[in-house]
Amino acid sequence: MTFRSVLEWDARLSDQMRVAEKPGALRVISILFAHSGDSWFWGAALIGLWYLGDSFWKEWAVVQAAGISVLVVLVLGIKFIVRRRRPEGEWGSIYRSADPHSFPSGHAARSFLIAVFATGLGPWWLAIVLWIWSPLVALARVAMGVHYVSDIIAGAVFGIVIALVVLQIYQPLLMWVSSLIGFPLW
């Protein structure tokens, strides 16, 4: 099996999962999940959580925001090295124009990173909800035709690995940043 045959199989499988051009409930649900992983949505939600939350939720929001920021830089770096074009399609023009590269999926990476962080930080009930949500976001990106299956698998693995690394170093790092700026972040 050659690399080219794997990519061809990946493209065929991704095309079979696609619902972007098929009207109906599955398309609507896929659109909702595909957008629920958008960075602007999570940025606004985390700012609101930090502003309105107690110290637990402030810390939760800061860790998530820091992890997402690191992840964005790393994912974009990989995308510009690999330069895999997104699948052809009409839906998702904002994604196609802002970022024409598909590998790895930033939405899959972000959603799995968020789920891993919730597992490490708590609460347990939110971690369960986010572990159900994150694969749905990733699959919706394939269903809407903006990613291949291999993009979301790579993104999910990358998001999990980065989250596990950040969970190991976040407390010392946040204490250092707090001392630099002269006030606690939460």
Question: How much is the pLDDT for 88?
Answer: 85
How large is the angle between the packed helices 149-181 and 124-143, nearest 10 degrees? Answer: 130
pLDDT digits (tens, 9 = 90+) for 78-93: 999 999 998 888 887 7
**pTM of the model as a whole:** 0.88
149: tokens are 């299956």
Q: How many alpha carbons fall within 13 Å on the CB side of residue 132?
A: 5
Confidence at residue 59, expressed as pLDDT on a 0 to 100 scale: 86
Q: How much is the average pLDDT of 112-128?
A: 95
Query: Distance between CA 85 and CA 103 in Å, rounded?
Result: 8
- Taking alpha carbons only, the member of 36, 105, 48 closest to residue 74 is 105
Higher-pLDDT residue of 11 and 73 is 73
Residue 24 Rama label (left phi>0; alpha psi -120 to 50; beta): left
> Token digits for 148?
């291949």
Report whether pLDDT(186) > 70.
Answer: no
